[in-house]
Amino acid sequence: MADLKSLYRLFWVIEFTLFSLLRLALVAASSGWTPDLVASRARQWAGILVKGLDIEITQTGDIPGYGALVVSNHRSYLDIVIILSQLNAAFLAKKELKSWPIFGLAAKRGNTVFVDRSCAESRTTARRALAERLSQGISVVVFPEGTTSAGPGILSFKNGIFHLAATKDIPVVPVAICYENPRAAWIGDDFFLPHFLKIFKTDGLKARLNFGPALRINDGATLKAAAHTSIQKQLRAME
C-alpha cells in the first residue's frame, strides 16, 4: 500500500503540473505574459504541491516582500517547491533541468534562469538574466553551493552571484533549509523516481525553513562570506 501511495502522489504531481501549465497559458493568452503573473502562479502551484504531498513546513524569519537575492543551502529538489511556496520568485538552475520530462517544461515557463557552470559565457548570460528579474521586483533564489549536500552544514559557495549583488546593491537574504528525515536529501547518484517513491511512501515529511536578515555589503567576497556564515549558524540551530 505504501508503494501505491507514493506512485499515486507522483502521478498526481505530474497531472497537476500539466494542468497548471495549461491554466497559465490560458491566463497569459488573455491578460498577457508578465513576470509577476508567472511568479504568482508558480507560488500557487508550489503551495498546492506542498499540501498535496503532506509536507509540513516550519517557517521562521522575515520573508522578503521585495526583489531580493535569496541564497540557500541545497538538500534536495524539494527545496525548490518548499521555498517557492513561501514567496514569488525565480530560480537559477543547472541547464540539465531543461531536459527533465514535465518539470523541465515547468521550469522554462516559470522564469527560471538556466546556467552551464562549466561555461564562462553561460555564467555571464545567467547573471544578466538574474539582474533583469531582480529589476522587475521578483526575488531570485540561488543555491550557491552549486550542488546538493546531505549536511550537516554546507559546502563552499561559488563567487559570481555575490559580486553581482555587491556591485548593484542588491539585498541578499540568506536562507537555511533542512529536513527531519535525512533521507530527504537527494545527493550523489540518486535518481529522481526511486528517491521520490521512497520519500513519499509515508505521510508528514517535515521541513524547516528560516529566512535570515538581509545583507547589503559592497564587496562580493565579504558578502559571500557573510551569507555563508549566516546560513551555517542557522543550520546549527536547526539540525
- Residues 148 and 75 sit within 8 Å (Cβ to Cβ): yes
Let me know: does 207 contact 55? Beta carbons within 8 Å.
yes
* CATH number, domain containing residue 192: 3.40.1130
**What distances in angstroms separate CA 7 from CA 27, 66, 92, one per listed residue?**
30, 38, 29
Contacts of 42 (CB under 8 A, 6+ apart): 84, 88, 89, 110, 111
H helix intervals, the chain: 2-31, 35-52, 78-84, 103-109, 120-135, 160-167, 192-199, 220-238
Cell of 187: 545527493
SS3 label, residue 206: strand
pLDDT of 24 strictly over 70: yes
Q: What is the mean pLDDT of residues 20-45?
A: 84
pLDDT score at 29: 79
213 vs 99, residue with greater confidence: 213
pLDDT exceeds cutoff 80 at 99: no
pLDDT bin (cut points 50, 70, 90) of residue 35 is confident
Residue 162's pLDDT is 93
Q: What is the mean pLDDT of residues 93-115?
A: 78
Query: How many Cα atoms occupy the beta-carbon half-sphere of 172 within 13 Å?
Result: 31
pLDDT of residue 2: 52
- Examine the pLDDT at 26 and tell me if it is beyond 90: no
> What is the rounded distance in angstroms from the CA atom of residue 176 to the CA atom of residue 50?
18
The average pLDDT across 24-53 equals: 86
User: Helix, strand or coil for residue 231?
Assistant: helix
Answer whether residue 230 shows pLDDT above 80. yes
Confidence of residue 1 (pLDDT cuts 50, 70, 90): low
CA gap 16, 131 in Å, rounded: 31
Spatial separation of the C-alpha atoms in residues 215 and 71, rounded to whole Å: 11
**Contact (CB, 8 A) for 45 and 121:** no
Assess whether pLDDT exceeds 80 at residue 63.
yes
**Cα dihedral: 144, 83, 67, 115 (round 10):** 40
* Residue 45 CB neighbour total at 10 angstroms: 22
The contacts of residue 129 (CB under 8 Å, 6+ apart) are: 113
The reported pLDDT for the residue numbered 15 is 93
* Kind plus residue range of the DSSP H or E element containing 136: none
Q: Report the chain's mean pLDDT, rounded to a whole number.
A: 88
Count of CB atoms situated within 10 Å of the CB of 92? 21
pLDDT above 70 as % of the chain? 99
Domain count, the chain: 1
State the residue range of the domain holding 28: 2-238
Give yes or no for residue 138 having a pLDDT over 90. no
Q: Which DSSP helix (H) or strand (E) runs through 178?
A: strand 172-179
